[in-house]
Amino acid sequence: MLTKRIIPCLDVRDGRVVKGTKFKDIKDVDDPVRLAKRYSDEGADELVFYDITASYEERDIFLNIVERVAQHVNIPFTIGGGIRTVDDFRKILLAGADKVSINSAAVTNPDVITDAAKRFGSQCVVLSIDAKENAAGTFDVFIKGGRENTSIDAVEWAKRGQELGAGEICMNSMDTDGVKDGFNIKLLKALDEVLTIPVIASGGAGTMQHFADAFLRGNADAALAASVFHYDEIPIMQLKRFLQEQNIEMRL
């Protein structure tokens, strides 16, 4: 059995880690480098940083923060937000990141997934998807930080991303984001039926059992969360021991 991963997510705006609920009510949390080092020391498997307004504001990524994080953590980390070109991938990887997450720009220019995978390897390319359930019970892809509904089917888009060369899918459920009622198991199960690449569950973690459900019921390969870690509600090593007790393989 492959080891499951616990991934703290750090949303960054104006050089600070912030957190909201359903993409609204944004509050300040901490310095990104200090928080990243803390999570690295506490046993996180990976980290994800999102520049949450870069796409909407159509500006470049925060390379200075990437370089500082690379100097202070010894676990893999992913950078997303404002990624538009293969050259953006190159800059971020050269600055010290291990993976690059692409969201909005992949929808408008899917070839960037293939081009980046060919140049840097699929393992560096994470397709991040913000999805929201519609009246028909399926899921729509949203872009520009959750501001714009594309009406693209999220599960089909994840499958297409895999075909284009993405090495991993990070699926964020906008319906459960920040609510702490659990990950979107229905969405994770739908992905599990069509994908062979790893899936990161995102949006909704509130208890240790929620993580177990994502792994055992949703068959996710990794679980990503923010506020439960930012506010010390769930200690990472305590979570990993809890999951291991449920026969979920963890790196301790």
Q: What is the pLDDT of residue 52?
A: 76
CA 252/CA 248 separation, integer angstroms: 12
Bridge partner residues of 139 (DSSP): 133
CA 144/CA 58 separation, integer angstroms: 9
Please state whether beta strands 24-30 and 16-21 pair in parallel, antiparallel, or not at all (unpaired).
Answer: antiparallel
Q: What is the pLDDT of residue 64?
A: 86
Domain covering 5-101+176-245 assigned CATH 3.30.420.40 in the classification: no
Catalytic residue among 11, 88, 213, 221: 11
- Asked about 111 being catalytic, the answer comes back as no
pLDDT in tens, the chain (252 residues): 689 999 999 999 888 988 776 556 678 888 999 999 999 999 999 999 988 776 555 555 678 889 999 999 999 999 998 899 999 999 999 999 999 999 999 999 999 999 999 999 999 999 999 999 999 999 999 998 788 999 999 999 999 999 999 999 999 999 998 789 999 999 999 999 999 999 999 999 999 999 999 999 999 999 999 989 999 999 999 999 999 999 999 999
Q: What is the pLDDT of residue 58?
A: 58
Q: How many CA atoms lie within 13 A of 196 on its CB side?
A: 2
The first and second tokens of residue 210, run together, are 């929620």
- Asked about 192 being catalytic, the answer comes back as no
Q: What is the pLDDT of residue 22?
A: 58
SS3 11: strand
Is 156:146 a contact under the CB 8 Å cutoff? no
Catalytic residue among 51, 130, 153, 221: 130
**Domain boundaries along the sequence of the chain:** 5-101+176-245
Q: What is the pLDDT of residue 13?
A: 86
